[in-house]
Structure 1
Amino acid sequence: MANQVETLVASSPTKTPSEKYYTFFKFHLTDIVNIYPAVYKSAEVIEGELGVVGCITLWTYALGEISMGMKVLNEVIDDATKTIKLTMLGGDALQLYKSFACTLKVSEGSAQWVIEYERTSPLTPPPLAYVPILTTLITLVDAYLLIN
């Protein structure tokens, strides 16, 4: 069986202007630990700076009752399409997946996370637990930005 990249999508409507929403994730990504502390426990820039391709962040988060970690590369920042791609360089999820990346696409009235992953084996389940987390993240950041 040839390995292939699969995708899952988490999307939700937003009320925040698209530029403000996109700018938050571009320059203040690590602030989601304050907005969604039930899942995101810590985040720190360990190389580069937020808003710049090549920035690397180190995260801890909870997936249910399990504490997880990840090292993430800010691989793509496209202001024209309001797209940010974060690729996992290391972390717990890479025990199940050969590759794992999340791409945020912001448009007027909605935000969408596309999860791209490659399974280590045909028996590896898809990372479905991330879909409701990212959908909730869209909603919480939207609510935060509407009052700040």
Structure 2
Amino acid sequence: MANQVETLVASTAIKCPADKFYNFFKFNMSDSVKIFPAAFTGAEIIEGEDGTVGCIKLWHYIIGIPLTVKVLTEEIEDAAKTIKFVALEGDILLLYKSFKATLTVSDGLAKWTFEYEKTTILSPPPELYVPLAITLCTLVDAYLLIN
């Protein structure tokens, strides 16, 4: 089987201003731990700083079981309100040879695009990340509307 990169998209409506939502994920994404503690149990910067390309964070999260992932902020495009994250290490790389998550924010919409390459033909699509992303966006949107 030839390895190929596959894509999965999760999008949801948002009510807060696109700039405010985008800047949360650019500069304050670690606050996801206090906004969505049922899923995100820890986040620490390993290298660099929030809001910059090259920042590496170690995330602790739960999707049925506790998991960890070390994530690199690979790309930030302010004009397009897009941030691209790449998994460097962690549990997700047991199922996928590569895993990238791109957040694109526009007026009224937040969209996550997951690009992944399966480790084996038996690796499932990362469908469990869709409700995680949508719930995170919904909770962040609600948080930003009152803060």
- Residue 52 of structure 2 aligns with which residue? 52
Whole-Å separation in 2 of the counterparts to 1:22 and 1:59:
19
Task: Give, in whole Å, the separation in 1 of the partners of 2:38 and 2:100.
Answer: 22
Calculate percent identity across the aligned residue pairs: 61
Q: Tell me the SS of whatever aligns to 2:120.
A: coil
Post-superposition offset of 1:127: 0.9
**1:1-148 pair list within 5 angstroms:** 1-64=1-64, 66-148=65-147
TM-score, scaled to structure 1: 0.98
Misfit runs of 4+, over 2 Å: none
Give the gaps of 5 or more residues in structure 2.
Answer: none
TM-score for both structures, normalised by structure 2 = 0.98
Matched to 1:5, the amino acid is V
CA-to-aligned-CA distance 1:94-147 (integer Å, 9 cap, x gap): 011000111000000010111111001111111111110101111000000000
- Aligned length in residues: 147
Matched to 1:53, the amino acid is V
Matches of 2:33 and 2:113 in 1, distance apart?
20
- Match of 1:32, SS state, is helix
